Chains A and B, each alone.
Chain A
């Protein structure tokens, strides 16, 4: 299969999963389950990662600008860096690793144990039953996780600046708020919305394509993570080009 037909198939799979008649009453519990799975269950790892992102950002920014620029610039730089780039991208990559693989493994196992065939035979569309809740669930959970990750990173970087770099909270906060542009925050959020679609679609797509047994399920999980991560980076560039370019 060449690259273009693979991309076409991927987009067809996405549209087949999303543009489909469905009723909220029957799907809401499955959506909520996915929000829980992607959002709540990813929260601990996201908080840890975001904390260290904040700490690394403040240490490196301070190293680069200390002595040559006013100290509030550190707050401004860290804030914009986290909101525009680090928050959305690292959250998306973590969720790709955690959730795209588990979606692919779960759906792949359902494929090899004929559970998807069982849905088909019960006249239940597996795209609606399995993919739609995962895509919507990730679409809801990922932006929320991103905002939480950004808050976590900024709080910890502010605390580190105050206690270890001698930059008072007020100064850090002045830089953060004085140079705050809504476009930075919402641009980052828009990225995470796009990321959520490719992460969930990758997980479902490679799960659906499984033929064979345990080995293929493992392979599908790996492919889902690799593809989701690459697509996240490609989309990051494209969205940045449109919003910030």
Chain B
């Protein structure tokens, strides 16, 4: 379970997060909805200690990020797979090396085992046969799928998706949404999806929160129906 407790973050005079609190229960996918520029990505990065927060804390399975040393934070991050909005694939590496990197760094798997795992992950995201391509030669949607495969490499307990469908065509959007839904069932992993897309939020979220003006509010059933 992840508990976000009273998280606040400001950039100079701009308050981005103002006492944000919610929790992500095991095996549930929480959607944080909000217009562009409201601080959804800041929220995700702050949760993982990439950005220093002004106050508040995030607790992963009882371990506080604020009270953790750098080593402990790295241990927490190994439990999290993160799909960046811009995919953040390493452009000097091909698809195979991008996905295999966390396996090479954090496991003692043999090359053969890594290759097997890699093929399995590419199958899961529907990118089999694309292992030798470089990110520059992939479309935006394909990059997103590779980014999901990389996020899954260490079999994480939590998956964070930052705007997973932004900028994709409707067909690719359906494919990515389907993948998120399938992963939720097959991996039973919990996580957070931040998006400004209502359709995506409705399709994947067990709970939906609205982030606006730094404050977060849970959407009730009636509000969800109104949105629908």
- Interface bits A81-122 vs B (CB < 8 Å: 1, else 0): 000000000000000000000000010001001110110111
Bound: A117/B48 CA distance, A: 10
Which residues of B have CB within 8 Å of A106?
92
A117 to B86, CA, bound (A): 11
- Digitize B86-127: 1 where CB-to-A-CB distance is under 8 Å, 0 elsewhere: 101111100000000110111000000000000000000000
The answer to whether the Cβ of A124 comes within 8 Å of any Cβ in the partner chain is yes
Query: Measured between alpha carbons, how far is A226 from B135 in the docked complex, in Å?
Result: 32
Bitwise interface map of B from 58 to 95 toward A, beta carbon under 8 Å scored 1, else 0 = 00000000000000001101101010101011111000
Q: Which of B50, B75, B91 contacts A121 (CB 8 A)?
A: B50
A123 touches B77 (CB 8 A): yes
Map CB proximity to B onto A1-40 as digits: 1 under 8 Å, 0 otherwise.
0000000000000000000000000100000000000000
Residue pair A114, B80 in contact (C-beta under 8 Å): no
How long is the Cα–Cα vector from A120 to B78 in the complex, in angstroms? 10
Nearest B-chain residue to A109, judged by Cβ: B91
Number of interface residues of B (CB under 8 A): 22
Per the bound structure, the CA–CA distance linking A122 and B93 in Å amounts to 16
CB distance from A222 to the nearest CB of B (A): 22
Partner of A123, one of B75, B89, B91, B92: B75
Task: Give the residue name and chain of the B residue nearest to A122 (CB).
Answer: B102
Within the assembled complex, what's the spacing in Å between the Cα atoms of A125 and B154? 16
Find chain B residues with CB under 8 A from A120 CB.
Answer: 50, 77
Q: Given contacts A123-B74, A123-B75, A123-B78, is CB(A118)–CB(B84) below 8 Å?
A: yes
State whether the Cβ of B45 lies closer than 8 Å to any Cβ in chain A: yes
Bound-complex Cα distance A117 to B50 (A): 7
Beta-carbon contact of A118 and B82 below 8 Å: yes
Residues of B within 8 A of A124 (CB): 101-102, 105
Asked if B88 and A113 make an inter-chain contact with CB atoms under 8 angstroms apart, the answer reads yes
- Contact indicator A121/B90 (Cβ below 8 Å): no
| Chain A residue contacts of B105, Cβ below 8 A | 26, 122-124
| Cα separation A192 to B106 with both chains bound (whole Å) | 36
Closest to A128 in B: B105
When chains A and B are docked, how far (Å) is the Cα of A121 from the Cα of B91?
17
Residue of A26, A114, A125 touching B88 (CB-CB under 8 A): A114
CA–CA, A115 and B88, complex, Å? 5
Residues of B within 8 A of A114 (CB): 84, 86, 88
CB-nearest residue of chain B relative to A116?
B88
Residues of A within 8 A of B92 (CB): 106
In angstroms, how far is the closest chain A Cβ from the Cβ of B150? Answer: 8
Beyond A121-B48, A121-B77, A123-B74, whether A113 also contacts B102 by CB under 8 A is no
> A124–B103 Cα gap in the complex (Å)?
11
Which of B50, B105, B106 gathers the greatest number of chain A CB atoms within 10 Å?
B105
Could you say which residues of chain A place their CB within 8 Å of the CB of B102?
A: 122-124
Question: How close is B147's CB to chain A, nearest CB, in angstroms?
Answer: 9
- How many angstroms between the C-alpha atoms of A124 and B82 in the bound complex? 13
Q: With the chains together, A117 CA to B82 CA distance in Å?
A: 10
A residues 205-238 touching B (CB-CB < 8 Å): none
Chain A residues lying within 8 Å of B101, measured Cβ to Cβ, are 122, 124
Could you list which residues of chain B lie within 8 angstroms of chain A, going by C-beta atoms?
45, 48, 50, 74-75, 77-78, 80, 82, 84, 86, 88-92, 101-102, 104-106, 154
Given A121-B82, A122-B102: 4 more A-B contacts, CB < 8 Å: A115-B91, A121-B80, A123-B78, A123-B105
Q: 27 A–B contact pairs at CB < 8 A?
A: A26-B104, A106-B92, A110-B90, A113-B86, A113-B88, A113-B91, A114-B84, A114-B88, A115-B91, A117-B50, A117-B84, A118-B82, A118-B84, A118-B90, A120-B50, A121-B48, A121-B77, A121-B82, A122-B101, A122-B102, A122-B105, A123-B74, A123-B75, A123-B77, A123-B105, A123-B106, A124-B105
